[in-house]
Structure 1
């Protein structure tokens, strides 16, 4: 699905901002969860983008991990850009590998989308405004409070504007090029995804407390085989909610 958005979305005005039919989104989610092969060419870009946001919003404790919420937002209080980037890299190193890989793909797509903002009107700020509520789950807060959290939006904007520096060798441009190759959705990728705790579902995304193989200081740069994860297969086995925006 990210591959589809990466290929079709950058030239669509208001991508990630436009609302989609709840009925069509529910139908796509049911089709994905059925396990049958889904032809996304039959779907509209806003519908696929809305389902992706809903998928992200329903990751248990959020992709950035609820337990690290205050630390992520604290990055903005660091002195200069270099210090903020270093602090972000240290926090990324505390996330489970599956979270980090998905973030790399996601921000690769967002970066590519922002590069076409003259056509789609989606600047880094506009993208952050639309995607931030799906990425964070602050402790003891509901979704309406999250959507009003300007600091969360500011952090996602910082993360997007600096994603090339955050991942060093594994640049977002490289990730975007991988998303453009058919080999990204492969049997090898599916097998590797199922090696994560929780099998092939996003329920395998854990909080840092439950993390395994968490070597402090482990490099953020992942091998091509590690990046060759079938994110669509993750979506197939994920139980998504019905609310789509």
Structure 2
């Protein structure tokens, strides 16, 4: 079990109020704990009914994609392993412990797309999809941005959190596409994930109608637009951007404003322990400042 996986599961446990782990010791009985179940094909409010939070296991999958997929080619476009997908979905729905290190980012991305595709009426809802199509027809960019902001702000908080994590991950992948030669630009991502977000553009029959094809083209454009505007326009709101920064540990700049959100544990007792804590805190602050400067000047730390 990698140190990163341990940190991710601890973060998911804190945010989702669940007890989770990437795996279990070899001497322990198989699956000694039960986690939050990630149900497929049910309304999102039922999936997130525990304290109105994203289930910890689902959060772990998104965080793995956020960390590892920016440097991998064709993530969200290349299909995952079918057998591994079935196994992972079974574990998620049964609330069993999952070692995310055993699954490729392609398998996890495919499972995530399937989860989104099976949400009744889609993650935006029918009315939300209609509003997004209407926003796409606007010529005024400022009005377009304002209506996107209002739409996302009107959704339940757990939906806002899920969307900001997803689009934040898409943004990191797209911004790294040229440097890492992954091929996953915002346009490529839009084409790959639009059917999972927009159920109205998916045909019920075996043959796609021209109307469905046109809707698919528009939906891919909408997805590309949101990905491109993720950090250049305030479309998700300050609270959601801070949530994204806090959960992923990333630094981002929204409309020329740096957003860094780190939480530290309370200072330990004892003079020597407090001195060590202060030194570590100072080093973390310096590291954060250096990361901000690297982002500002287009450097890679």
Q: Check whether TM > 0.5.
A: yes
Segment drifting more, 95-104 vs 120-129: 95-104
| RMSD of aligned Cα (Å) | 2.7
Is it true that 1:142 corresponds to 2:222 in the alignment?
no
Structure 1 unmatched runs, 5+: 182-222, 226-245
Corresponding residue of 1:155:
222
The CA deviation at 1:180 is 4.0
1:56 aligns with 2:125: no
Q: For residue 129 of structure 1, what is the aligned residue in structure 2?
A: 191
- SS across alignment from 1:93: helix
Q: Secondary structure at the match of 2:71?
A: coil
TM-score, normalised via structure 2 length:
0.56
Partner of 1:37 in structure 2? 97
Q: Unaligned stretches of 5+ in structure 2? A: 1-60, 251-260, 264-301
Shift of 1:78: 1.2
- Given that 1:2 and 1:179 are in contact with CA atoms closer than 8 Å, whether structure 2 keeps it comes out as no
- Aligned equivalents of 2:262 and 2:138: distance in 1? 32
Distance 2:91 2:213 in 1: 29
Does the C-alpha gap of structure 1 residues 121 and 80 become closer, same or farther in structure 2, counting only changes over 3 Å? same
Q: CA deviation at 1:176?
A: 4.9
**Larger deviation: 161-170 or 18-27?**
161-170
The 5 A counterparts of 1:217-236 are none
Pairing 1:68–2:110 present = no
Q: Which runs of 4+ in 1 moved over 4 A?
A: 143-148, 170-174
Shift of the 141–70 alpha-carbon distance from structure 1 to 2, 3 Å rule, reads: farther
Change (3 A) 1:11 1:147: farther
Where relative contact order (Cα < 8 A, 6+ residues apart) is larger, the structure is 1
- 1:171 to 1:90, Cα distance in 2 relative to 1, 3 A: closer
- State the distance in 2 between where 1:224 and 1:99 align: 22
- Residues 29 and 51 in structure 1, CA contact (< 8 A), matched pair in contact too: yes
Partner SS for 2:226: helix
